[in-house]
A and B are shown apart, each in its own frame.
Chain A
Amino acid sequence: MKNRAWPAVIVVGIVLTGLTAAHAAERSAVAVSVQEFKFAPPVLTVRAGTTVTWKNHDEETHTVTSATGAFASAGLGHEEGFSETFTRPGRYDYFCALHPHMKATVIVR
């Protein structure tokens, strides 16, 4: 009867692997695009521990600058990026220091 147990083990294994992959994606692969002087999405909700990566698709330089000083990128040129890992829940408003009308928010749960 030993053989009968295998399919169950395999199924459980697949489910676990799937869960782990989904979880990892949620934690590590969240991207924000910077294009036409806008952050997209303007409001991003992530779980604590998530690393958010911004990429600037404009020829103009932009920054990702926290309104409270929690984080700040350097000037990002065309196709340059910046990453920040959010460990604590809360609301993080940020803007572009060069074009302060560019505003957006990361909400960490």
Chain B
Amino acid sequence: MDSIDRRGFLECMAWAGTGLLWTASGGVLSSRIVSPAAAAEARAESFRFAQVSDTHIGFKGQANGDPTASLREVVERINALQPAPAFVLHTGDLTHGQKAGAFDTIAEILKGLKTERVFYLPGEHDVFLDGGKEYLERYGKGTVGGRGWQSFDYKGTHFVGLVNVLKYKGEGMGALGEDQIEWLAKDLAPLASSTPVVVFSHVPLWAVYPQWGWTTDDAGRALEHLKRFGSVTVLNGHIHQVMQKVEGAVMFHTAMSTAFPQPAPGSAPSPGPMKIPEADARRMIGAADVTYVPGQHPLAIVDSRLG
């Protein structure tokens, strides 16, 4: 990895004032900040999208008595972004344990997003009771075989949404499965290696902390197919905190939850919701705002907190 200039790497951003900005060039973190002039030039071709994750509608705990209220706040903040995000990715755990009525509630709240489209992926909380029946009835339309996986192109960037929670049994980690990996290989085959690729899934596609199941069993096999690309950004949720890692040309990033924070790996007896006052928890929940600027293939991710 190239050397990282901390000044360029860490930069406070507006929204809540405590966001973190980082950029990647060719998939590798870069110290270079896009100058205002270059940014203006690239603005016509650039686009931004937002990532919302782990909304856990139906949760009630010390850190958040009403995740519908915090999600509504996030929706307002996303709606206030200028220019507006082209679309929103929801990286799973829409509901907290498929609580009755939760899917209806989140559909109603996210109707308020002023964006072209919202792309969804399930988290294990959305599918564990019925094997994904209700989730796929609502969100499976237009996905591969109605199974929840999907890909689309936006302004020259290829987006791939992978489902890694439907085989979520046995040893306690995410898994993609043979069918999906085969589909991924075919989906990527026609693309030039210079195509920027964004992969999103619920459970991290890297081993964040296997002891807590924070990894995807067969992610390595999927990443094999992504090796030849010059810029790969992997966006995940599940662990309710921001984490990032760069491996070759692949940049991994996890988003905060809009509902409640979880402890840092190994810092607590279990990965359960942190039991902290709501005011403190607000500083640990929010959403991610991702900007793609063509030319240098940078993806800038701003993690914005509610409090």
- The interface of chain A, by Cβ under 8 A from chain B, is 36-38, 58-61, 63, 74-75, 77-78, 95, 97-102
Contacts and interface: CB of A to CB of B under 8 A. Distances in A.
A59 B168 CA distance: 21
A75 B128 contact: yes
Given A100-B169, A102-B172, 5 more contacts: A59-B62, A78-B60, A100-B170, A101-B171, A101-B172
Nearest to A103: B172
A58 B272 contact: yes
B171 A100 contact: yes
A66 B273 CA distance: 25
A74 B273 CA distance: 20
Instruction: Choose among B60, B61, B171, B270 the residue with the greatest number of A CB atoms under 10 Å from its CB.
Output: B270
Nearest to B210: A101
Given A59-B275, A75-B128, A77-B97, A100 B270 contact: no
5 contacts: A36-B269, A60-B270, A75-B98, A98-B97, A98-B128
A95 B178 CA distance: 25
Interface in B258-300: 269-273, 275
Contacts of A100: 168-172, 213
B143 to A, nearest CB: 23
Contacts of B213: 99-101
Interface of A is mostly: loop
Interface in B8-56: none
B99 interface: yes
A102 B275 CA distance: 21
Interface string B167-191: 0111110000000000000000000
B303 interface: no
Given A61-B96, A75-B129, A77-B97, A37 B169 contact: no
Contacts of B128: 63, 75, 97-98
Nearest to A63: B128
A61 B97 contact: yes
Contacts of A61: 96-97, 125
A102 B173 CA distance: 12
Given A37-B271, A58-B272, A75 B171 contact: no
Contacts of A59: 59, 61-62, 272-273, 275
Interface in B137-153: none
A74 B172 CA distance: 18
Contacts of A77: 60, 97, 99
Nearest to B272: A60
A58 B124 contact: no
Contacts of B99: 75, 77
Contacts of A60: 270-273
A108 B269 CA distance: 30
Nearest to B124: A98
